[in-house]
Structure 1
C-alpha cells in the first residue's frame, strides 16, 4: 500500500478533531477557497481545470466533492438531515457522528440494501458486483495494509458502524413496513434548514473520486449542487419528513415510494435563479403528464435551438418521442448514455439510432418507435475502466438545466424515491455545457459494429415472430 494511503487512514480519527479548513484540501489546490455561503454552486468530479488530493492520498483531476461536502457538514450548527442511497466514506460518517455527539441533531435515511454495515456482510454469499463493492470498502478500512480487518479498523472504516456507535438515528425504506420502495435513490443533505446539497452522486468513493483498488479510475462522472436557500431547504425538508415519520420509534408512519401522497412541483427563487423541485415517485392515479417524466417531456418540448443530454439511464419511450419531434423541427439534439446501459434492448439510444433490438425471447418494448431520421450526434463517452456516466442532466438552449437523482425511466418515475430539478440560470447552464462538451469531445458516436451485428442476428433469429414485452425497467443497472 502506498505511504499516502497509510498516512491518511492512520490519521483518520485525529485529523477530524481539527478545524475542517485546516485538514481539507482547498478546492482546486489553489488559494481560492470554496465558498459554502454562495446561493448556488456546482462541482464536477471530472472538472479538468481543478486538482485535489482524494481520501486515499492520490492526486486527482477534478473538483473535490468529498472535501466540499465535508466543509458544508462541518458548518452545521443546528441540524443535519441526510437522505442518500448509500454512505460509504468514513470521513463523511465521522463528521456526522461528531456533530451528533456535540448535540446537533443528525438524522440519516438510506436505501435498505446499504443499511447493514458492510463489515457484517463479508462472510455472506454475494454477486461479483457486490463482492467488488465490499472489496472497495475493505481497502478504505484496512489502515495497516495487511488485508485483515481488526475491530479498530472496522470501527473507524465502516461508515454505518461509525454512525451506529455514535447513536445517529438511521432509517431505511423498509421503515414503512414494506420490503422497501423501488430504490431509496435520493442524494441530498439539508443543513441547518438553510442549505441543501444534492445532485447525481452517492456518498461513495466510486462516485466521488474512484475505486480504491483501481488507480486509473477517476470515479463515476458526477456532480453536486449547493443551494443556500431556506425556501429550497423547506421543500426538501417536507420530503425528508414524509420518509422519516417518527423515526426509529414504534409508529408505522414513515412513507416511501408509492405510499407517499401526491406532491406537486414547487417553484422557488434562489437569488435571481428560478428552481423547480419535483420528487418521485408519481402516483399512478395521476396523468403521466403530471409525473416527473411528464415534466421532463414538457420542458424538452420547449427547446428551440439545442438540447445536450448526459444520462446514466434512458428508457422512457415518451421522452424519446419528444426528442425526435424536436429534432425534426430543427432543434440540435446531442445525446450521451452510459456505455453499460446504452445498447440494451430497452435503451432509447437505440431508438435515436433508428434501430430496434429484440431481446432473447424476440420481444420489443411497448410502443417502440425508432427514429425515422437516425441521430448522428448520439453515442457513449469514453471512460476509464470501471467508471460510469452517472450524470442525469440535460441542458436546454444553454439557459436551463434539468438534473437530479432521477434517471429517465419508468422505474424512477413510478417506484423510486427521487429528486428532480429544473434550474433557470445561464451561468450554471454554461458549467453543465462545459461538462457535456468534455464528455462529447472524445465520445464514440453512432452505431458500433458489435451492436449492428446483434441487431442483424436478432432479426434473422426472430423474423416476424416479434412480440411486445412488458416494461423492462426492472432490468436496468443498479444506480
Structure 2
C-alpha cells in the first residue's frame, strides 16, 4: 500500500511502498483526515496495523459496524481493549458476518464473545453492509474496506479516517439505532442534521435506505461542471447512470473503472457507457476491485460502503461520506489514475453496441 502523509517525507515514516494521506486540522498533529489505499498483491497489512493502533489507543469506547470479519489481530486488539476497560460493541450481518463463523479461517467472533464483547446482527434483514468504526466518540473509520484478509490485502479498497466529534456523533446515532434493532426502512431519516463543517471542510453523511442516497448522489453528478471520476465494484443504478451520461453529453469529462465480473452482467451500466462513447475501463485485479468512489470536479469525494445499485439504495444498511475538499479529492484522483493505468478497455465484441 502506498503511503503519503501530507508533505511528510516517506523516508521518515519508513513505509515506502505503502499509502496514507493526511489533511490539515490545526491540531497538535496537524491532521484531521487520513486516507489509506490497499496495494493488492504486496505482502503488507498497513491498514490492519493502523486499525490496531487506533484500537490500542482508545480509552473509553469502540463501536464497530462491519459486514464481514476474519482478522485475528483485530480481534486480539479488541480483546485487549476490553480488558483495560474500553466498552466495545460489534454489529454485523447475520449471514456474511456471524453466520459465517464456522467457515475456514473464521472464528474471530468467538474470540470477541469470550472476552465479553457483545455482538449483534441484523437478524435476517437484507444486508448489514456498513463499514464504519467509531473510537472514543471522536474518530470515525470508514470507506469500502471489509475487515477481512481479502478486504485489506487482496482487493482494491480505501479507508478514510475522520477526526471530528460532530461526525462521530452522527455515526454513533446510527449505530445506536441499529443496536436497538432498527434496520432498513424501520429508521427515520435525519439527513437534515448530517451536514457538518470540519476545519472549513463541509462533510455530509448519508445512510441507506432512509436517506435516498442514490437520488442525492445523482444530484451531485448532475451538478458536475468539469469532471466526474468513478471507481465501482457494482454500478447498476439506472438513475445514477443516466445522470453521468447526461453530463457527458453536456461536455463534462466523465471516466470510470468498473469491477470486471460485476460489469459483465446484463444489469451493469458499463455497456450503456461504453456504447455511449464514455472512456470506461474494467479492472485487472484477480481478486476484486471493491471501491465505491466518486470524485466530482476535482473537489468533491464520495466514499463508503454504498455500491451504486438498487439493493444498496433501497434495501441494505449502508453508509456514505461526502467531503467537499480538494486535497482529499486529489488523493482519490491519484488512486484513480494508478488504477486506470492498470485497467483495460472492455471487449468490443462483448459490448455488442448497436
Instruction: Give TM-score scaled by structure 1 length.
Output: 0.66
Check the 8 A contact 1:263/1:279 in 2, yes or no: no
Equivalent in 303, 317, 321 of residue 421 of structure 1: 321
1:79 aligned residue: 61
CA contact (8 A) 1:376 1:446 kept: no
Q: Which runs of 4+ in 1 moved over 3 A?
A: 32-37, 114-121
Equivalent residue number for residue 258 of structure 1: 185
Measured after TM superposition, the shift of residue 269 of structure 1 is 1.4
Distance 1:277 1:64 in 2: 26
Determine the structure 2 residue equivalent to 1:227. Answer: 162
Q: 2:25 maps to what in 1?
A: none
Task: Using the TM superposition, give the Cα deviation of residue 69 of structure 1 relative to its aligned residue in structure 2, in angstroms.
Answer: 0.9
Alpha-carbon shift at residue 163 of structure 1 (Å)? 0.5
Residue number in structure 1 paired with 2:305:
405
Give the aligned partner of residue 131 of structure 1. none
Query: Is 2:279 aligned against 1:377?
Result: yes
Of 94-103 and 74-83, the range deviating more from structure 2: 94-103
Q: What is the deviation of 1:316?
A: 0.9
Conserved 8 A contact 1:311-1:390: yes
Distance 2:295 2:182 in 1: 32
Q: Distance in 2 between matches of 1:376 and 1:280?
A: 29
Measured against aligned partners, the alpha-carbon deviations of 1:204-228 in whole angstroms (never above 9, x if no partner) come to 000101xxxxxxxxx1100101111
In the TM superposition, what is the alpha-carbon distance from 1:261 to its structure 2 partner?
Answer: 1.6
Shift in Å, 1:119 = 5.8
d(CA) in 2 for partners of 1:445, 1:271? 40
| Contact 1:392 1:404 survives alignment (8 Å) | yes
SS of equivalent residue, structure 1 residue 401 = strand
1:161 offset after TM fit, Å? Answer: 1.4
Q: Distance in 1 between matches of 2:232 and 2:151?
A: 15
Q: Do the aligned residues in 2 keep the contact of 1:277 with 1:420 (CA within 8 Å)?
A: yes
Give distance in 2, aligned partners of 1:439 and 1:102: 42
CA distance 1:114–1:278, change in 2 (3 Å)? same
The Cα of 1:272 is off from its aligned counterpart by 2.2
2:91 is the alignment partner of 1:164: no
Structure 1 position 435, deviation (Å):
0.4
Choose from 278, 298, 302 the match for 2:219.
298
In structure 1, which of residues 281, 286, 304 is the aligned counterpart of residue 209 of structure 2? 281
- Alignment length (residue pairs): 334
Unaligned runs of 5+ in 1: 1-25, 48-53, 122-133, 139-157, 210-218, 246-253, 283-289, 355-373, 457-479
Q: 1:112 aligns with which of 85, 94, 98?
A: 94
1:272 aligns with 2:174: no
| CA distance in structure 1 between the partners assigned to 2:157 and 2:263 by the alignment | 18
Indicate the RMSD between aligned Cα atoms, in angstroms. Answer: 2.4
Q: Residue 243 of structure 1 contacts residue 256 of structure 1 at CA under 8 Å; is this kept in 2? A: yes
Q: Tell me, yes or no, if the aligned pair for 1:117 and 1:159 is still in contact at 8 Å.
A: no
Q: Say whether 1:28 aligns with 2:15.
A: yes
CA drift of 1:103 comes to 1.5
Q: What's the offset of the Cα at 1:33?
A: 10
Give the direction of change, closer, same or farther, for the CA distance of 1:412–1:117 in structure 2 (3 Å limit).
Answer: closer
Query: Which whole-Å deviations, capped at 9, do the CAs of 1:350-406 have from their partners, x for residues lacking one?
Result: 11123xxxxxxxxxxxxxxxxxxx2241120222x2x11100001111111011111
Stretches of structure 2 lacking an aligned partner (at least 5 in a row): 1-12, 23-27
1: CA distance, partners of 2:245 / 2:129: 29
1:452-471 map, 5 Å: 452=352
Task: Provide, for residues 418-442 of structure 1, a one-character-per-residue CA deviation record: whole Å limited to 9, x for no partner.
Answer: 0011101111101000100011113
Are the equivalent residues in 1 in contact too, given 2:248–2:278 (CA < 8 A)? no
2:245 & 2:20 partners in 1: Cα distance? Answer: 43
Residue in 2 aligned with 1:67?
49
- Counterpart-to-counterpart distance in 1, 2:76 and 2:87: 14
Instruction: Return closer, same or farther for 1:167/1:114 CA change in 2, 3 Å cut-off.
Output: farther
TM-score, normalization by structure 2: 0.88
* Distance in structure 2 (CA, Å) of the matches to 1:393 and 1:301: 16
2:95 counterpart SS class: helix
Task: Report the Cα offset of residue 167 of structure 1.
Answer: 1.1
Report the CA distance between 1:113 and its aligned residue: 1.1
CA distance 1:264–1:255, shift in 2 (3 Å): same
Per the alignment, in what secondary structure is the counterpart of residue 72 of structure 1? helix
* Higher radius of gyration, 1 or 2: 1
Find out whether 1:319 has 2:246 as its counterpart: no
How far apart are 1:291 and its partner, in Å?
A: 1.0
CA–CA distance in 1 between the matches of 2:72 and 2:321? Answer: 29
Which of the pair is proportionally richer in strand?
2
Preserved CA contact (<8 Å) 1:40 1:270: no
